[in-house]
């Protein structure tokens, strides 16, 4: 039997606030879009170019973290890629998304994460020993 691996890691910025819905069974599901950028120097012109990619993220059971998943927040996401299909006007459409297993807030002095076991940890702004906001997070 051959082995395979479906693993995705992203560090980017949320394009808008996460949209949280609840299933009929009571589970929450958050949908969000994350922008990642890459830069390179054009060999002919010598100018720096930038390209932005948008990624669709789905995260289950992140009620405690959802309030921090706001537009402009930098997040680190680990998960797996999943492609699903649906019918629209008689046409089959396909969507590829990252099913998040771990989310870590990575900017703005906030910290929190959701791990793959379904437990989530979320905290307000980090504070230093004097109770002041700690904006010196190294990432």
For residue 92, give its domain range: 8-37+48-117
The pLDDT tens digits for 92-114 are 999 999 999 999 999 754 444 44
For residue 24, tell me if it sits in a domain: yes
Residue 78 has pLDDT above 90, yes or no: yes
Measured CA to CA, the distance from residue 7 to residue 101 in angstroms comes to: 10
Q: What is the dihedral of CA 124, 128, 130, 133, to 10 degrees?
A: -50
For residue 82, tell me if it sits in a domain: yes
Q: With cut-offs at 50, 70 and 90, classify the pLDDT of residue 41.
A: very high
The overall average pLDDT reported for the chain is 82
* Whole-number pLDDT of residue 98: 98
For residue 61, tell me if it sits in a domain: yes
Q: With cut-offs at 50, 70 and 90, classify the pLDDT of residue 124.
A: very low
Residue 24 has pLDDT above 70, yes or no: yes
What proportion of the chain, given as a percentage, has pLDDT over 90?
69
119 SS3 class: coil
Domain count along the chain: 1
For residue 1, tell me if it sits in a domain: no
What proportion of the chain, given as a percentage, has pLDDT over 70?
77
User: pTM of the entire structure?
Assistant: 0.70
For residue 93, tell me if it sits in a domain: yes
For residue 89, tell me if it sits in a domain: yes
We report the CATH number of the domain holding residue 73 as 2.40.50.140
As separate numbers, helices (DSSP H) first and strands (DSSP E) second, the chain gives: 1, 8
* Whole-number pLDDT of residue 63: 83
The stretch 101-128 carries a mean pLDDT of 52
For residue 84, tell me if it sits in a domain: yes
CA-only gyration radius of the chain, Å: 18
Residue 137 has pLDDT above 70, yes or no: no
* Whole-number pLDDT of residue 84: 94
């Amino acid at each position: 039997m051959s082995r395979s691996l479906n693993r995705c890691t992203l560090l980017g910025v949320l394009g808008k606030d996460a949209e949280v819905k609840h299933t009929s069974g009571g589970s929450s599901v958050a949908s969000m879009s994350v922008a990642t950028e890459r830069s390179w120097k054009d060999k002919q012109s010598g100018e720096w170019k930038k390209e932005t990619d948008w990624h669709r993220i789905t995260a289950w059971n992140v009620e405690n973290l959802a309030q921090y998943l706001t537009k402009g927040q930098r997040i680190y996401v680990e998960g797996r890629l999943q492609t699903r299909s649906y019918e629209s006007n008689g046409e089959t459409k396909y969507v590829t998304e990252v099913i998040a297993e771990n989310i870590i807030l990575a900017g703005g002095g906030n910290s929190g994460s959701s791990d793959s076991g379904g437990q989530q940890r979320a905290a307000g702004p980090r504070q230093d020993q004097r109770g002041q906001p700690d904006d010196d997070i190294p990432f």
